[in-house]
Structures are given as C-alpha cells and as structure tokens.
Amino acid sequence: MRFWIAAIFLVSHFFLLAQTKEDSIQLIRNAVKLYDLDFTEAEGDSMLDNTIEYHDLYRGMHKTLPTNDIPYPFAFNPLPYGETVPTKQQKIVWDIPGIQMPANKNELAFYSILQLASLVKNKKITSVELTKFFIARLKKWGDTLESVITLTEDLAMQQAMQADDEIKKGMYRGPLHGIPYGLKDLFAVKGYKTTWGTTPYKDQVINEDSYVYTQLKKAGAVLCAKLSLGALAYNNKWFGGETKNPWNLKQGSSGSSAGSAASVVAGLLPFTIGTETLGSIVSPSTRCGATGLRPTFGSVSRSGAMVLCWSLDKVGPICRSAEDDAIVFYYIKGTDGKDAGAVDHAFNYIPKVGLSKLKIAYAENYFKKLSKDALDWKVIDAYRSLGANIQPVVFPDSVFYPNNLISIILNAESAAAFDELTRTNRDDLIERQDKDFWPNSFRSARMIPAVEYINANRYRYDLCKAVYDFMKNYDVLIVPTFFGSQLAITNLTGNPVVCMPTGFNKNGSPVSITLIGKLYDEATILAAAKAYQDKTDFNKQHPAKFRQ
C-alpha cells in the first residue's frame, strides 16, 4: 500500500526517494499502470531524464501561481466543423399588458416581469417603490432561506432612482427597466464582495463589473442582492449556511444556483441569474419549482465570473416562467470579447408558436422506465391536447456516451482553475472536506494525464457531432429531468434546455420536465415551454409561507 502511495503522489520525486536507478525505473513502471499503460524496463529507463526535466519545469511554473481569472487560451466550440452560428436577429416585440396595482400589495411578489413592467412603465408604481418592496422581502425572508450573501441596497436605490428619472423623461429601455433582480455571487460587481460562496474568498472584492451585470444595468434592471451558491459552485452549502427549499425548509434547495432558485420561487425577487456546469441551473430549478434556462454553451459571456470549467460553464436566467426566462436571456445574451468561448447569436423568440408546426419528440426509452401514473406522462398529454404531434424516439445515450467523459474534463479543468487554492492549502477552509467535495476532487485530478484530458475532448467532438445530427430531426426533445445520461451529455454538447415545474410529488415537493433544443435555438424550447405553462398553473403556484 505504501509503495502505491509513493507511486501515485511522488513519482516526479523519484530521484529523491529511490535509492537506486533500478528502484526509480520500477517506480515509473508501476505508476503508469494507473493510466492503463504497461512499459518495459527499457522504456522506463528511457523516461528517467525526461521525468526529471518535467519536474524541474513544474517547479519553475509554481514559483508564481495562476489566479482564477487568467484565461485559458483555447475555446470550446459545440458546433461540428462546417456548421455556422445563426446571427440574423429579428425584432422582438414584448407584449406588455395593461395592469393595475393589486389590492393586496403582497401579490406583487409573484407578478411576472411583464406585469411588473406594465406597472413601472405606466407609472402605477415607481421603481423605487418596487425596489423597496423587494428589499423588504429579502430582509424578511433572506435569513429563513439562507439565500442572500450580500444585500446591495444602496446600489439598488441609486439604480431605481435613475430608472424612475429616465421614465419621467420618456426614456424607457424595455421590460427590465426598473425591475429588481439578484445575481449568483460568483459575478463580480465593483465595490461589493464576490465570495464564490466559500470561506477562502468570503472577503474578496473584484474591481470589475461582470458582463452579465453590465448587460442588465444597460437594460435598466436594479440589482438588489448577490445570492448564495454552494461553495465554489457545488451544491447548496456555503459559508453562511445551507440554502433552503421554499416548499420545505427542512430540505436544501439543491445547487449550485441555490439562492437564485430559492429567492425567485419565494417571491424575494422577480428574476435571478444562475450558472451551470453540470446541473446547477436544472437541479435547484427542479427542487424549488422554478423555470430555469440553461442556454447553449457560449451564449452569454462569462467575463467577470468565477471560472470552474472553461469548456462547461454556462450562464442563464432562473425565473417563474419560460417567458420571463426569454426576456432576461434576450438582454444578457452576447459577448464583450473577453470570453473566448462566447458568441453573439440570434434569438428569434415568438411567444405564440404553432406547436403543430414543430417537430416534438419524447425519449421513449426513458419514459418506459416511469410508472404509468408519473406526472411526466401528463406533460405529453398536455402537449397533444395543444395540437402537438409528439413522436416517441429512442435517445441512445449509452451509444452516445459509453464513458463518463465529463468527469475527466470537469475535474481536470476545475483543478487547474483552483491550482492556487490547492497549493497554498487554503482548500482546508472550504466548508466540506469529505472525499466527494472540491478539495479532494482538485487533488485527485492531479492524476489525470494531459493526454487523457485531450483525448476525452476528442471523443467529446464525436459526441457533439452525434447529438447534433440526432437533433437535426427535432425542434424539441422532452426528457424526464434526471433520467439516463442526458444531463451530462447535453452539458458536454452545449445544447440548450428549459427545466420547468410540472406538479408535485406525494411529499408535496415540486417535480420537473426538461425540454432539450438544438444548438442556439433557445427560442423554440422557450416558446414550447410557454405554451405548456399557458395551459397549466404549476409555475403559478407559490409556497404558502412566503405569500405574506
């Protein structure tokens, strides 16, 4: 056992540990067996000088440690070679309804973005009044949900006053003008802490405005709070507690966009921004009953945001409806040129889409594993009642994805992104220290060879091509949210998804369905989700405790 520990962790120091050249050769030969290789004694002998040279190079690199914001100079592109990004943007006219103030002001907590926009635009309520209302709710319920890291009250009031002043002058920016919102606390905002949800960074101030914050500021939105995330974007435990599910305060909200999902469902904010690397929008949206959009990879620049995984991180809105998601996405999509993986693509959303004209399918191989009374089946029934012609198909995930590539890619990239944290031993401060959490993942990823990481990404290209060809046949693919390997697959391929509530299980907890779309076609899956939500009321139900 001790020999293998030495082989795993100290192979680059063999010349310091081994007493003889033969011992050193044997150490190398045993170590490479971890990588499914078998070298002869002569081959091990040949490697000695190179291994020493690499060790010296590593030591030279480690004289300075890379911070999280240093770019990775290679960008993942989810499109197969020869395909192009759609860029022809059509004008979207948002249908702002005529709305009166409710008799009970508390009802504002669950108004849609367009309803609130109507009140603000038509001066039924000022942005300052609306902002004070949501700030009060954040103060009242934030500690209950453990969802707020930093209240940005002073900034919010400044932005709200500016929004009102512009409206008085006839300068209306659109449906987000004067509307309060919250950011997951991995987006930088000048003058405020950006904690990444964990003790090693809880006092960190980044002198930069993230792209997402800048875009929302341009749209006239009002930042009220920076919201909780699980430590370094994992789960729902952060340095201030564990974010709660508004439907069941004994349960966590899931993660890592924990505070974003919990806050919007509890009516603490009209909309929020989250991120996903592997489920961090989909999972808390399911647990809390939110409607989350995970856009196509690269749809939103990540500049000014914490890096977890350069080729997997994605930014998206978490709201109470698909239409709210569409509005927010329209205003945050695009790039500032500071994110090598980001592009500016068209988003031609049509609120009233003809479902009969869409090619909609459901993954029959997943659905067959459900009980006959599972709520997922009722989603299919609802779409058929709306005129959709839904076809059963096999989503061959075992063929697409025979090996767990995302484990290699995510762990290697995240370990590199937080190399400094590991090497300074500040990872000991992270809230969880079990073998399934980041400190151990970062350490274990040291054993992923660069060759295997690169080859995993080459197989990823084949996966992207296979899924791209498969999705050519469908505008919308309906899947049970956590069945099979589709969550890992679509995160790897960059396909957009909408996750929305479809009812409650026997324990009273929300359940969800997921709509998968073609690359760069968020518009269609959002329109399809809106059609379902117009017919049902699951996204319009709110936890009783927070209706006060």
For 146, residues 6+ apart whose C-beta sits below 8 A from its C-beta are: 228, 238, 240, 241, 242, 243, 244
Give domain 105-345+353-398+458-547's CATH number out of 3.60.9.10, 3.65.10.10, 3.90.930.12, 3.90.1300.10.
Answer: 3.90.1300.10
Give per-residue pLDDT as tens, 162-192: 999 999 999 999 999 999 999 999 999 999 9
pLDDT at 112 over 90: yes
pLDDT at 8 over 50: no
Give per-residue pLDDT as tens, 292-314: 999 999 999 999 999 999 999 99
Backbone angles phi, psi at 245, to 5 degrees: -80, 120
What's the pLDDT score for residue 309?
A: 98
- pTM equals 0.95
The answer to whether the beta carbons of residues 59 and 53 sit under 8 Å apart is no
The DSSP annotation for 403-415 comes to S-HHHHHHHHHHH
Q: What is the mean pLDDT of the chain?
A: 95
CA distance 391 to 11: 55
Give per-residue pLDDT as tens, 73-91: 999 999 999 999 999 999 9
Burial state string for 294-313 with b = 16 or more CB within 10 A and e = fewer than 16: bbbbbbbbbbbbbbbbbbbb
What share of the chain has pLDDT > 70, as a percent? 97
Residue 391, sorted as left (phi over 0), alpha (psi -120 to 50) or beta, turns out to be beta
What's the pLDDT score for residue 2?
A: 39
Give per-residue pLDDT as tens, 437-481: 999 999 999 999 999 999 999 999 999 999 999 999 999 999 999
What's the pLDDT score for residue 52?
A: 85
pLDDT at 16 over 90: no
What's the pLDDT score for residue 129?
A: 98
The answer to whether the beta carbons of residues 184 and 259 sit under 8 Å apart is yes
Going by pLDDT thresholds of 50, 70 and 90, the confidence category of residue 358 is very high
pLDDT at 535 over 90: yes
The answer to whether the beta carbons of residues 194 and 186 sit under 8 Å apart is yes
Backbone angles phi, psi at 440, to 5 degrees: -75, -35
256 prior amide bond cis, ω within 30: yes
The answer to whether the beta carbons of residues 291 and 533 sit under 8 Å apart is yes
| Structure token pair of residue 507 | 């324990």
What's the pLDDT score for residue 9?
A: 41
Going by pLDDT thresholds of 50, 70 and 90, the confidence category of residue 19 is low
Give per-residue pLDDT as tens, 123-168: 999 999 999 999 999 999 999 999 999 999 999 999 999 999 999 9
Give per-residue pLDDT as tens, 37-65: 999 999 999 999 998 899 899 999 999 99
Of 17 and 453, which is predicted with more confidence? Answer: 453
pLDDT at 13 over 80: no
The answer to whether the beta carbons of residues 401 and 462 sit under 8 Å apart is no
What's the pLDDT score for residue 3?
A: 39
CB atoms within 10 A of CB 32: 18
What share of the chain has pLDDT > 90, as a percent? 94
Which amino acid is located at 272 in the chain?
T
Give per-residue pLDDT as tens, 415-444: 999 999 999 999 999 999 999 999 999 999
Give me the count of residues in the chain: 548
| Structure token pair of residue 213 | 């914050």
What's the pLDDT score for residue 548?
A: 86
| Structure token pair of residue 487 | 């969550």
For 90, residues 6+ apart whose C-beta sits below 8 A from its C-beta are: 346, 348
Q: Where are the chain's structural domains?
A: 1-64, 105-345+353-398+458-547
Closest CA to 228 of 278, 268, 286: 268
CB atoms within 10 A of CB 399: 9
Q: Which of 18-22, 82-86, 320-324 has the lowest mean pLDDT?
A: 18-22
What's the pLDDT score for residue 5?
A: 38
What's the pLDDT score for residue 10?
A: 45
CA dihedral 322, 323, 327, 328 (to 10 degrees): -30
pLDDT at 18 over 80: no
| Structure token pair of residue 105 | 């002001």
What's the pLDDT score for residue 300?
A: 98
The answer to whether the beta carbons of residues 270 and 111 sit under 8 Å apart is yes
pLDDT at 194 over 80: yes
